[in-house]
Structure 1
Amino acid sequence: MPTVAALPIDEPGRVLLVRQAALGTSSTIGGAVDEDEAPADAGRREPDRSAPRA
């Protein structure tokens, strides 16, 4: 199964990472590429799924 990783950077240059609470680490945002989906589209989708909601 193909996967993607994303490294979103905001205007001030901050990088959005996902906190792995169980491991005490941070990692890039990523996930599986859906069937019939382009990897670039999955890369744009994953940050929306993983980002915390304010």
Structure 2
Amino acid sequence: MSKSKSKSTPMTSSAAARIQSAQAAKTGGKTPKGSFAARAQKSAAKHAGKTTTKK
């Protein structure tokens, strides 16, 4: 996994939910531990409550 210093958009809850939903549809309702969907959900939770304002 690359740790670039470029500006990126933080993962949102709704984006993580879409990713997790797509993964669950492919895997019979399960989201494997450590999968991209699980990492997306973790990232969304980490960024929850933080506001992003552009100056």
Question: Is TM more than 0.5 here?
Answer: no
TM normalised by structure 1 equals 0.31
Structure with greater Cα Rg: 2
TM normalised by structure 2 equals 0.30
Which of the pair is proportionally richer in strand? 1
